[in-house]
Amino acid sequence: MKKFFALLMFASIANVAAAADVVANAKAAKVEMCIGCHGIPGYKATFPEVYSVPMIGGQSAKYIENALNAYKKGERKHPSMRGIAASMSDQEIADAAAYYSQQTAQTAKK
Ligand code: HEC
């Protein structure tokens, strides 16, 4: 968790006010909930089976948005991600996508 806040600090300091908005929006979009699985390099989810969790930081916003919409519509089948995407509004999906697409600098260091 500490690390996550450090990343948030970095994001707000390193980028301009626009990025701070992205972070604020992303917080509203439940991005904290994604960190548990997606924020940990090499982490494997254990439900419903052991599964490598892809890194989403630094992907293009469009890619992340498309993936989330595909889970929401049931075109992509992973049960955890379907449940999560289904609970997100279009706005939350767009905000989360914008947030993760800005994480390039951090993820590149890992
Ligand atoms: C319970 C663990 C878990 C949580 C919480 C979680 N994810 Fe995922 N996510 C996964 C797993 C596992 C996959 C890979 C599933 C697959 O292959 O279809 C995945 C896949 C994705 C993908 C597709 C990545 C790709 O390269 O294909 C995106 C985008 C994504 N998640 C976004 C999010 C966002 C945004 C949140 C928070 C709102 C979130 N996830 C929360 C486990 C999780």
Per-residue model confidence as pLDDT tens digits over 36-50: 788 656 556 665 556
Q: How far, in Å, are 3, 11, 17, 71 from residue 84 at the CA level? A: 23, 25, 29, 9
Ligand 1 environment, Cβ below 6 A: 30, 33-34, 36-38, 45, 51, 53-54, 56, 64, 67-68, 76, 78, 80-81, 84, 96
pLDDT tens readout for residues 24-36? 777 666 777 787 7
104 Cβ contact list (under 8 Å, min separation 6): 57, 58
The pLDDT-based confidence of 1 (bands split at 50, 70, 90) is low
Q: What is the mean pLDDT of residues 4-8?
A: 54
Q: Flag whether pLDDT at 53 surpasses 70.
A: yes
Amino acid at residue number 43: Y
- Please classify residue 110 by burial: count the beta carbons closer than 10 Å to its beta carbon, then call 0-12 exposed, 13-18 middle and 19+ buried: exposed
Higher pLDDT, 57 or 6: 57
Q: Whose CA is nearest to atom 31 of ligand 1?
A: 81
> Cα(90)–Cα(46) distance, rounded to whole angstroms?
28
Q: Flag whether pLDDT at 71 surpasses 60.
A: yes
